[in-house]
Amino acid sequence: MIIDTHGHPPLWKRRANFETLIHIILEQQVSLASANAALKKLKEKIGAVAPAKIISLTDADLKACYFSRQKIVYARQLAEAIINKQLNLKQLTNAPDDIIRTTLKKIKGIGDWTVDVYLMMVLQRTDLFPMGDIALVNSLKEVKHLPKHTTKEALQKIAEEWKPYRTVAAYLLWHSYLCKRNRKP
């Protein structure tokens, strides 16, 4: 149904690097356009997005790049973890999902949604369905014609039917959500 109406979704693929994790943090609880604007502004300010460059910026510098107070803290925590060698993104590439989740969630500001997006779009893992994603949940309700008050448990039960390819379902649902609202991925 989604493919018939909107065509195939793009294959969202991101690089396994610090900039990508900063971008995903910027996407937390805001529109894709807002997160992209913040990343663009940051890149205009510092060029390549690297841990040492983030640490060197003042709070005012980061606020001028549209970072909220919380996201300033999160970006600095991530940068410090990489600088202090508490986190090595290259080593995580081939690790099991649960190890990646545990490792990344040790960093303030990285929770399940951020890890899910990283696993899906960076590491191309096929069986994730981030229930914390408002657009995804709303799209699922729209496509399945579910009431707005449908419980998280009921939605999880639907998503379970798509194992082991829940990421594919999520991509289709995000694609539908964006197309219906005339937004670009």
In the prediction, which pLDDT does 159 show? 98
pTM of the model: 0.93
For 102-136, the pLDDT digits (tens) are 999 999 999 999 999 999 999 999 999 999 999 99
Q: What are phi and psi of 107, to 5 degrees?
A: -95, 125
Q: Looking at the structure, do residues 53 and 85 belong to the same domain, yes or no?
A: yes
The answer to whether position 13 is within a domain reads no
Q: Looking at the structure, do residues 142 and 165 belong to the same domain, yes or no?
A: yes
User: With b meaning 16 or more CB within 10 Å and e meaning fewer, what string describes 17-31?
Assistant: bbbbbbbbbbbbeee
Q: Structural domain tally of the chain? A: 2
Contact, 79 vs 72, CB < 8 A?
Answer: no
Identify the domain containing residue 161 by its residue range: 129-180
Residue that finishes a domain, picked among 77, 97, 122? 122
